[in-house]
Structure 1
Amino acid sequence: MSRADGTDGASAADGLVSAARSVGREAARCAAAAETARRLDPDVVKAVVAAGFARHLVPAAHGGDEGTFLELGRAVSAVGEGCTATAWCASLAAHIGRMAAHLPEEGRRAVWAEGPDAFLVASLTPLGTARPVPGGYRLSGTWPFVSAIDHADWALLAAQVPDQGPRVLAVPRGTWRTEDTWHNVGMAATGSHTVTVTDATVPAARTVARDDLFTGRGAARVVPRLAVPMQATTMMFAVPALGAAKGAFAAWRQHAERKIRAAAGAPAALPGMPSFNRVTWDTTLARTATGIDAAELLLERAAETADSFRPTPAPTPGTGLGPDLDLDLGPAPGPGFTPLETMRIWRDCAVATDLLVGVADRLFRAVGTGGQSSASPVQRFWRDINSVAGHQALQVESAATAYAHQALGF
């Protein structure tokens, strides 16, 4: 693991992480233009796919890598050091590939008919309606905030089915139309526009009950190791912010080193005038490096716990916490994890993100007027990290309530 201060922890010299560093450099080069366009550069998306993100969690039976969450997290972080938006889209594409493994076999074959590198997007809030018809469903609805929709081959969209409950339906490009609605100041390049589907027929084999997806039951018969409950994969949203914090820290260090060297040879300040205070810069360096390392340790523990998942024959009971928020992290933890283990992962991801917001705010303040130019990557990372932290899946309050219910038993 590469630490915030540049020292090395455990080795991550695997293929995806190595390729991710190149993707991060290319994404950084294109970041300003991508923000203006409000979508990722097509060549950067091609690089993300070529690096292996889309196939990383795809079942081997369909040509995928069946990789680990830990390796994926390290790769996403490496991309995030160059561009948070690219890391976000790469992370979601990989995790949504795992979600598609919950489809019946015929549906999986359709999604990966042209290979495991299909680029998938999703909206798992059941905002649409799916009416049962012979052989499948008729789908209609509108879903906002679908990241990277401009580059998608397939979309997983959640809808309410009358008398059945919510289902997730896989639809190919050409099924939806995209409305240009993404104008946010943070994560601008994700292109998280609104998707509308009107009366599209979806075969039953390209659908799965949302409960089966969220609990992991749907994939248990396909790739048991990847049948992880949704709340135990919250790192998909948090790790891009880790990479962004590292990128902001690197940019701040360049600025700080120039200031410190310049101050060393500068004449003494006039009486009564403020002088350069080296302690301020040293303290910022130490606190920032520590904050990033702490967040990384939490996120890597979450990934390692998810990688340790082994399903049991029967699913665990529900948490009894009631309906979820925003992207709906789902009802109950799935087989193989206790509810407490699952909620600890969610807690760790939310707290890690909160730590990274503190890092970003400190660096933005410390870099000063000279480093807050619109051309500075520090301000871009600052906006992006705060935007990521606004995602409902990363709210400390929600995670704390869910964790406390399990930890205290009431």
Structure 2
Amino acid sequence: MIDDATVHEAAAVLRAHADKTEQDLRPAAESLDALRRSGILALRTPRERGGNWSDVRTITRYLAELGRACPATAWVAGTCVTAKNLVAASFPEPDAFDPFADPDALFCGSGMPGAQAERVSGGIRLNGRWPNVSGCRDAAWAGVAVMVEGAFSFAVVPLDDLVVEPTWRMAGMRGTGSHTLVAEDVPVPSARVAPMSGFGAADQLLYALTTLGPVVGAARGALDRIEAMFDSPRKPHMTSYTRMGESPGARHWLAEATHLVGRAENTMFSIARAADSPDPTAAADSRFRMDLADAARDARSAVERMLDLHGASGFDTGNELQRFWRDVAVGSRHPHLNPYLAVEGFGSALTAVTT
């Protein structure tokens, strides 16, 4: 059973292999093994199938803890949560097909319909493409949205039946390996196809938090490095100070960065509590998209302050700080955290205009 101690141990493994994850464009095997042993990959496996089915606040807290060590691997763990939530909602009573036979299997997927399917004897025949599927090189199953005779549907497909097209060439979150999945005349039995479910308001907050958690965790991880710098003999260059903490300006910037990270965390957990609320209307508040975007921008602004503090050497490719900076820069711009769409949606809600 997952607990804080096992997640902390897993985070230490992720931190030790973060560079390898980025270089290989996929989570290190050691990191994936640590996720599996800790129970992270079973966070949204139903309890009756041997999983944890943790609440949203617990999921968010653990993803942030992992993001503090390796944002890219935490991101892959978050997409596994999303995929399993969609599978559990779409296949609530497994019969001929049990997607959770291995409760700790890594899932990947896409909720955007990237394929058309035709009905054939015993199921469907699948053709299509799904871009930006994080963790697809290492997942056992892909849950993908598909249109079946005009109906928005969900199919669960073994990765061995799909082609991974290497299209992920990003500056940040490189280790997520978010390549394109391709289906070419793939037969999928009817037991693995169902109407798409799992897009209620609380579900949508969960999916957004699986992207925000690693981003805010990354900002906290960057702050860990800056705090260590303040504890070291390092001093501001071209000054008479003997340590960073002697500079009023440096202390001011540290305070601002720390405040921004803390505010992002507080916002994030406030949203997670709403997603866990027993009141079904609590998660539907249109302001939450604004809050999600604000938390992401706070994380990004905090890391910018930290790079100002560190100076140009923070961009050395051997410095962890620049990796956190790139991962936050890319992750915080995910569509779930999009600020201008959040403003647009909130404005429409305020004026009762539908878009």
TM-score by length of 2: 0.91
Is 1:34 aligned with 2:21?
yes
Match of 2:72 in 1: 85
Residue identity opposite 2:200 in structure 1: T
Match of 2:258 in 1: 289
C-alpha distance in 2, partners of 1:73/1:397? 24
Q: 1:340: Cα distance to partner? A: 4.3
Q: 1:386: Cα distance to partner? A: 0.3
Q: 1:390: Cα distance to partner? A: 2.0
Match of 1:332 in 2: none
C-alpha distance in 2, partners of 1:28/1:393? 26
C-alpha distance in 2, partners of 1:43/1:205? 34
Q: Is the 8 A contact 1:247 1:381 kept in 2?
A: yes
C-alpha distance in 1, partners of 2:231/2:144? 48
Q: 1:268: Cα distance to partner? A: 7.9
Q: CA RMSD in A?
A: 2.5
Change in 2 beyond 3 A, CA 1:40/1:368: same
1:154 to 141, 145, 149: 141
Q: Deviations over 1:243-266 (max 9, x none)?
A: 100110111122233356x57xx8
Match of 1:256 in 2: 230
Residue identity opposite 1:306 in structure 2: A
Is 1:351 aligned with 2:311?
no
Matches within 5 A, 1:29-68: 29-68=16-55
Residue identity opposite 1:141 in structure 2: G
Q: 1:110: Cα distance to partner? A: 2.3
Q: Is the 8 A contact 2:274 2:283 kept in 1?
A: no
Match of 1:366 in 2: 309
Q: Is the 8 A contact 1:39 1:148 kept in 2?
A: yes
Match of 2:157 in 1: 171
SS at match of 1:131: strand
2:209 to 230, 235, 240: 235
Is 1:302 aligned with 2:271?
yes
Q: Is the 8 A contact 1:351 1:396 kept in 2?
A: yes
Q: Identify unmatched segments of 5+ residues in structure 2.
A: none
Is 1:111 aligned with 2:99?
yes
Q: 1:108: Cα distance to partner? A: 8.7
Q: 1:56: Cα distance to partner? A: 1.4
Residue identity opposite 2:181 in structure 1: V
Change in 2 beyond 3 A, CA 1:68/1:339: closer
Q: 1:47: Cα distance to partner? A: 0.8
1:337 to 281, 292, 309: 281
C-alpha distance in 1, partners of 2:7/2:205? 25
Q: Is the 8 A contact 1:232 1:345 kept in 2?
A: no
Residue identity opposite 2:221 in structure 1: G
C-alpha distance in 1, partners of 2:240/2:281? 63
Change in 2 beyond 3 A, CA 1:282/1:60: same
Residue identity opposite 2:276 in structure 1: D
Q: 1:103: Cα distance to partner? A: 2.5
C-alpha distance in 1, partners of 2:55/2:240? 55
Match of 1:405 in 2: 348
Q: Is the 8 A contact 1:16 1:72 kept in 2?
A: no
Aligned positions, number: 350
Change in 2 beyond 3 A, CA 1:107/1:249: farther
Match of 1:122 in 2: 109
Change in 2 beyond 3 A, CA 1:268/1:35: closer
C-alpha distance in 1, partners of 2:161/2:103? 20
Q: Deviations over 1:193-226 (max 9, x none)?
A: 111111112223322333x33237xxxxxxxxxx
What percentage of residue pairs aligned between the two structures are identical? 25
1:182 to 146, 160, 168: 168
Q: 1:347: Cα distance to partner? A: 2.4
Is 1:384 aligned with 2:353?
no
Q: 1:87: Cα distance to partner? A: 0.9
Residue identity opposite 1:284 in structure 2: W
SS at match of 2:62: helix
Q: 1:231: Cα distance to partner? A: 4.5
Q: Is the 8 A contact 1:256 1:281 kept in 2?
A: no
Q: 1:16: Cα distance to partner? A: 3.4
Q: Identify unmatched segments of 5+ residues in structure 1.
A: 1-13, 217-227, 270-274, 311-335
C-alpha distance in 1, partners of 2:316/2:222? 13
Residue identity opposite 1:53 in structure 2: I
Q: Is the 8 A contact 2:64 2:218 kept in 1?
A: yes
C-alpha distance in 1, partners of 2:47/2:338? 34
C-alpha distance in 2, partners of 1:268/1:37? 41
C-alpha distance in 2, partners of 1:117/1:276? 45
Moved more, 119-128 or 199-208: 199-208
